[in-house]
Amino acid sequence: MRIGLLTGGGDCPGLNAAIRAVVKRALGEYGHSIIGFRNGWKGVAEGDIMPLTRNDIRGVLDTGGTLLGTARYHPHSADGGMDAVRATLEAERIEALICIGGDGTLHAASKVAETGIKIVAIPKTIDNDVAGTDRSIGFDTAVHIATEAIDRLHTTAESHNRVMVVELMGRSAGWIAVEAGIAGGAEVVLTPEEPFDIDRVTRYLKHRHRAHASFSIVVVAEGAIPAEGSSMEWETKYGKFGEIVSGAISERVAEEIAARTGFDTRVTVLGHVQRGGTPLPSDRILGSRFGVAAVDALQQGRTSVMTALRGEEVVLVPLEEVAGKAKPVPEELIRVANALA
């Protein structure tokens, strides 16, 4: 079998572990060929191929990013995109595709699958917001990076008696903010799932500083918004590609805190630091498990499915049930994050 392989959307640690597992399982166990496509769905549309052998995957297990490259391109929303994808797959005699991506890439995969192309998807995103799976590739490493940053900010915040506002990624779901906030001991965690009241936030910070502390850490997910009817007016700012403007909400929250409390308040925006670097063992393991499961699924004739972690087990879930859907942070976990102040 000639199997196409792509990584789409934002990069994250652990992608190369998944690529490596797909290649080793397909070649070593079943004798299939793996044809990589550079730069996600864009590479499929343009016919930009990279045949993958064992030599190509040596030494990549501990490397961040993706050796295939990636791009934010969705063929179903581009003029002629779907026709170009089909033309490439026919020209390269690709019998099935393995797509590694987040919600946008997997939504595109579901659209392509509807045309009759055999597809198995693998979830990856540092945001951990892909529906149907407990964990996505890259999330654990991003939380580790964010937690380490919060740990470092504690010492400088305490030394200068400051409020440190830390912005973490999370457009529609605050998974990184919540888990890193809990692990890093943040006093306040603001997420997209629960719009915040800036009056309540500042009242708490003033009480904390009067009672027993001279500093505070406030974690803000980039998609956090104030509650409707609260005293902070805000309209989320977007870039030319529909992305949330990095640093906008954290700068505004910091301005509000400083103005309402008089506390020296500073902002740290982690941004793409959360995506880079060496993947944790857990992301290498998850990527490897998903890669093997994806190849096995194709061998068994299972298509239009996504690999997923449910508890300790890797299972296959129908792609149509999860594509285009976001997984919010449970209310209980957000409550824990803000109950440990």
Residues that are catalytic: 127
What residue type is 57 in one-letter code? I
- Unique residue bearing structure tokens 């007016």: 233
Three-class HEC string of 179-221: HHHHHHCCCEEECCCCCECHHHHHHHHHHHHHHCCCCEEEEEE
Instruction: Spell out the SS3 assignment of 137-151.
Output: ECHHHHHHHHHHHHH
Token couple for 42: 């864009």
Dist. CA 254–CA 27, nearest whole Å = 53
316 three-class SS: strand
Are 113 and 323 spatial neighbours (Cβ–Cβ below 8 Å)?
Answer: no
**Residue 188 CA, distance from chain mean position:** 22
* Cα 93 from Cα 83, distance rounded (Å): 15
Structure tokens at 30: 């079943």
- Coil, strand or helix at 313: strand
Measured CA distances, 238 to 44, 74, 222, 256, 273 (Å): 28, 19, 11, 21, 20
Closest to 157 in 3D by CA, of 203, 205, 198:
205
3 state DSSP class of 340? coil
Tokens of 284: 């290498």
Polymer length of the chain: 341
CA 213 – CA 191 distance, rounded (Å): 24
Sheet containing strand 33-37, strands side by side = 49-52, 33-37, 2-7, 96-101, 119-123, 305-310, 313-318
